[in-house]
A and B are shown apart, each in its own frame.
Chain A
């Protein structure tokens, strides 16, 4: 059969060729399957935002409320910052952060026929710490200050919003506030009633952040707001009550060139006192001496705390797998008060309360023990990325 197999060879050859051609066609097909969606990336050089022309926090501010609860668009950045510790009747604990940031892209609105033209953009961060389950929920939203998509207004009543996330006053006098926000699998609907009048940081609200006169912002707090409402986790509603803290701050490039980030603590002590301490860390390892703290008595009386009046000592660290940053976790606070030192130990209620948005920082609920007990919030920035330029 040798001659037979010789004759069969062309047939086999043909078969192999055929298989080859068909698999080449299959290859063509597979290659174009990969391209069935439009795939591309867009590379844009960073915006050249106007640095000049904004108002700066230099002189003390003549505060007037409710006007100053509203926006100050002449300044580059501004935020309304709410944090709070809440619990259900049976003791299930939640922490929340709800913040709306305003950023001016230019000092003045550009003349345009388009209703979409905006020189103000807004960013909102919303987190809930579900202490019992150990879950930390977070979401971020953006909006342009146009077409009613995002904005801040104080007349006829205070309202700051990004999309359907908002904080608004129930009346013109801001005697009560409502916060509503919905994230993926979590939501809050809270009513907040200020128990103390605004407390001013630094020099009657002129809060210095660095050595130059321009390194400052205007900063006041509503340190204690009685809070009730609903926290929703995975479509289960929890009726909660507790205390919240509001910071409202505005300024233009408040941080100095050497600043890296800050550690901030806002604490509600069970004896009715509220305490803010913070430090701005610099590249050389020192802290900005101009930035200090504030003690608010149960009756609303305030005491400024210079940086030299307190020490913040980390007791532990928490390494983030997500961002790679290592945050301090747990602190010892020693505050020199007239009646002697106040020693407090702070413990995070959850290790992981890291916010991974367009800015990476740690913002979480902490428990206070020691000379006084209470609950509070800690904010640790600049551990994953320097903050200068953003704020």
Chain B
């Protein structure tokens, strides 16, 4: 391209500093969101991998069993009879330490076997003393109740080698001696190992508790014959699993959650692209005369096109680079929220280090450049259509844009129909679900200009009658510069509909959870070990039930056993969360999706050996009334249990399997329970019973909660999970607000001459000010009205398509009047706010200067 064109382009940009800044900002915002969410998601995924590594080292396979674990004798079989050297037994559990009961992971290992799995437990190899690793760890074996821990834990507890300190479980409290320190070599390892305490397997087993069993046996082998021999030797109730699939399925736990965030960031990007398109079109319109002159001076269409595209690319790259950097920073903010939610809902992860992969950077760069380029293509094309002759006539552009309105509406209709069809084509894919959502959203938005045109034509007589000639003028002004107003209203409608859609989805969900909790929490007091995430078994002594029954005011005590159980038919999914209850808490209030027996016979059927499963569980495992069995690995091998119903439950998106306690105990030799539910006598005072119960279990570190407290905790977790969604929603709204601001400014500046003429004809500054605000107000109102149905459609799809596919649960679509007027209010406020500055500029316009063409 001739250098002179580049210079002109730069000068043009220099003169429109604000627009340039907005362009860059839109790209920065869009790219930053995409990158930030990606960084958070990748960091979460890496956190899983590192957390697994910190516990499982470089194990390739593991042998796992039922609630008790794996009999120690099977380790002997593996080591001695099968001669598998690379096998290590592990006893693992969560313990608490320090005044505030910090949760630590206690890993019991055999020093002789463990270094092949967890090399970090060895010392750096010293040439003179190759035996050092084993001999050092030997101390754990030689001296009972000794542990090693990380620098982090030692600092947290203020202990040094040689010091004694106390660890506690729900059933036990014991003093240990610190004899060594695990020194991580880098920050990430430090985080992964942050909460690790390592002891000899005998020490850990004695403290955590199941004599005769270990938590798992880890293997480091890729030798298929060896694995086959192990499989052949497995007694019933044990299974050989790939650690990798374990890692994968753990990472998948939060996959849906992070995918939702990614979709939301894409939504923000769409808004950003709208914005860029808007700015570029305006920039072209503003330079009509320049471009016309250039054409007259001999610049080719190709050169004009290249100039505009280059301009977009230069600003796009600036925005992209800044956006990737900003995204990395944003990821730092998000990763904390994401890992917190993942720890709340799924699995305790220790790592919060940021992960920036080349893929993420590439995605960010590509997103930014494609968005800039894509948004500039149509304006660049329209620039090539400018001829020297037409350059002075603005109406041409408007006529052209009106024909495009019809085109957009037609495209919108196609996108809408395609989107709705897409939901039917593939009923389970989340990606397809989001694809459909985007098509429907974009389709609806493409309708906006046409709708605006019609609305303004209908409105014109009305405003004219109500507000006189100026009133009639506003709708006409909007329709006249439809190329800008249409895009501005569409962008605003898009942003507001996203806000409405997400809000309606969240409130619907929250209301459904409220109703569900009311039905589920029928007992008065709940006693459990402080939450340490899923897949972590807490062993409480069932005899505690008798002590609880003796507390004055307690009428009845129920127990629940919450354990992860292997389901051999679903090797790629995490273990099943089995809940065995001594009596059904929610018998009368439970909502069933389907049930095979009448409601009042469900408990009887459960006691007869059936199970009921939650909606998410059934969705993930495709359990339908036709495939009514679930196979679980019991102590005596796989057993098929009839599924007699699927019910609504929002406690975990992995779902649970509910079984009668008696049935559970007959299949699993498990003496422990996980929690207690207390019913009070009618005349009992909850506060008094709470106090007495707390005193009873004071030294066991158990949490005693009233129904209200438990409910508050559930909602605290719920709100934390959606906090990040809200943040992204606000960011999307901010992008949209800036979009409408820039569009309105563009439109108002575009009409300088007209306003100048009006001022010259005698309109006062105040009248012009009101006219401008009225105009933007109308646009805001229109955007708000259009956003409503789009937002509700979005909410409906978020609930029926996205949530159903991501989490496998359904909930009621509840629209509050609040959501409706909120939509109007936000759109109106955004438009009016954005209108103030342009209106002020218009009002201050000196007529003579405005009329003179620049």
Contact = CB atoms under 8 A, between A and B. Distances in A.
Interface of A: 1, 3-4, 7-8, 10-11, 14, 17-18, 21-22, 25-26, 28-29, 32, 34-49, 105-106, 110, 112-118, 121, 141-144, 146-149, 161, 163-164, 182, 356-359, 385
Given A40-B182, A105-B142, 10 more contacts: A18-B318, A21-B325, A25-B328, A26-B358, A40-B183, A42-B120, A113-B205, A114-B202, A116-B202, A148-B80
B54 A38 contact: yes
Contact of A39 (B89, B139, B185): B185
Given A41-B120, A42-B136, A164-B83, A147 B72 contact: yes
Contact of A38 (B137, B143, B193): B193
Contacts, number: 205
Interface string B162-195: 0000000000000000011111111111001100
Nearest to A1: B3
Contact of A17 (B4, B124, B185, B321): B321
B353 interface: yes
Contacts of B361: 22, 25-26, 29
A116 to B, nearest CB: 4
Contacts of A115: 72, 205, 211-212
Contacts of B53: 37-38
A37 B130 CA distance: 23
A45 B132 CA distance: 10
* Most chain B C-beta atoms within 10 Å of own C-beta, residue among A36, A39, A164, A357: A39
A44 B325 CA distance: 42
B141 interface: yes
Nearest to A33: B357
B112 interface: yes
A112 B108 CA distance: 15
Nearest to B322: A21
B200 interface: yes
Contacts of A7: 6-7, 10
B52 to A, nearest CB: 10
A144 B201 CA distance: 11
Given A32-B188, A38-B120, A163 B85 contact: yes
Contact of A42 (B123, B130, B325): B123
Contacts of B54: 38
A149 B139 contact: no
Kindly state the interface size class of chain B when it binds its partner: 35 or more
Contacts of A18: 317-318, 321
Given A38-B54, A42-B180, A106 B142 contact: yes
Interface in B82-138: 82-83, 85, 89, 110, 112, 120-124, 128, 130-131, 133-138
A117 to B, nearest CB: 4
A47 B142 contact: yes
B80 A21 contact: no
B567 to A, nearest CB: 29
B434 interface: no
A143 B321 contact: no
Contacts of A359: 131
A44 B179 contact: yes
B128 A32 contact: no
19 contacts: A4-B3, A7-B6, A22-B321, A29-B358, A36-B50, A38-B50, A38-B188, A40-B150, A41-B123, A41-B124, A41-B185, A42-B120, A42-B122, A43-B136, A44-B148, A45-B179, A47-B135, A47-B142, A106-B142
A105 to B, nearest CB: 4
Contact of A44 (B131, B136, B203, B355): B136
B356 A28 contact: yes
Given A46-B135, A142-B134, A39 B128 contact: no
A61 to B, nearest CB: 28
A35 B189 contact: yes
A117 B6 CA distance: 81
Interface in B462-514: none
Contacts of A164: 79-83
Contacts of B533: none
Contact of A116 (B148, B192, B200): B200
Nearest to A163: B79
B717 to A, nearest CB: 29
